[in-house]
Amino acid sequence: MQTEKKTRVAILGYGNIGKAVEEAVSMTNDMTIAGIFHHDETDRLNACHPDIVLLGVPSREVPGTAERLLSTGLNTVDSFDIHTQIPTVHKLLNDTARTHNAVSILSAGWDPGSDSVFRTLMEALMPSGLTYTDFGPGRSMGHTVAAKHIEGVKDALSMTIPLGTGIHRRMVYVEIKDGYSYDNVRDAILQDDYFAHDETHVIEVENVQALNNVAHGVHLTRNGVSGTTHNQRIDMTMTINNPALTGQIMVASARAAMRLAERKHYGCFTMIELAPVDLLEGGKEEWIKKLV
């Protein structure tokens, strides 16, 4: 690979995800960092002429940002994680990418992302049956933000605890602002729509930062039917550093995006639409020999 032209990767947004993307690119032989940019630096970004832009911006900013970049013919990868909006965003970015001969990889994280691929394979192997996705234990970004917005909360951390069959417990650790009572804060959290539907425990602590840990995990199971044969079982567990895995998957997906662009196969793709071998560095023949 050293003799081939390296893919020039721009990183837009430099929080946990942007830093993890930078680390993952640094471990490849086929990519190089073209530049790292903050949200508002799209002019500087365009000036460095990257082959592809990896988005480390918050999920709610992904659709607008990706659409703007795709409109200038730049390829993009994101880890957009608002599951319910994926079909709409997929259609939007697909239209824009096709119009401008670009490739967008949408929702390239671990869930949505690689878990989606595992769920797809489970469905293909056992077309009738039940799949359960049990997250955690690990910090939920969405629930943590929701808890931080409750009046009287100085800092918060919401842990997701798996109880099986897709049911989760929320353990919310809070620092209370001076002048507010624990009881009022707890009641406000329990009534918030993010927490009202799950078993939720609110625990007051002196220092939320001391609990900081980006470890996460997931457990996927399916018991289903292959052909007419029941009781086929598959069970998958991951225990991971959350941003490191997300950054790695975005970088692998950038490789797949470049290969689709080379084949002039433009549009927006989720990970279940990608050939897995295209995620890997180097020649397909070597991987067929090693992995098949």
Q: Given the rule CB under 8 A, which residues bind a second copy?
A: 20-21, 23-24, 26-27, 83, 86-87, 90, 107, 110, 112, 114, 116-121, 123-128, 225-229, 231-241, 244-245, 247-249, 251-252, 270-277, 279-281, 284-285, 287-289, 291-292
| Closer residue to a second copy in complex, CB, 161/277 | 277
For the CB of residue 276, give the shortest distance to a second copy in the complex, in Å: 4
Distance CA 109, CA 248 (A): 8
Q: How far is CA 95 from CA 63, 76, 99, 174, 268, in A?
A: 12, 14, 6, 44, 8
For the CB of residue 290, give the shortest distance to a second copy in the complex, in Å: 8
For 150-214, give the DSSP string.
Answer: STTEEEEEEEEEEEETTEEEEEEEEEEPTT--HHHHHHHHHHSTTTTTSEEEEEE-S-GGGG---
| Closer residue to a second copy in complex, CB, 114/200 | 114
How many CB atoms are closer than 10 A to CB 3? 4
| Closer residue to a second copy in complex, CB, 45/117 | 117
For the CB of residue 115, give the shortest distance to a second copy in the complex, in Å: 9
| Closer residue to a second copy in complex, CB, 162/186 | 162
For the CB of residue 289, give the shortest distance to a second copy in the complex, in Å: 5
Q: How far is CA 48 from CA 19, 56, 239, 272, in A?
A: 19, 18, 37, 31
At which residue do the structure tokens 């090693």 appear? 290
CB 108 within 8 A of CB 79: yes
For the CB of residue 226, give the shortest distance to a second copy in the complex, in Å: 4
| Closer residue to a second copy in complex, CB, 49/233 | 233
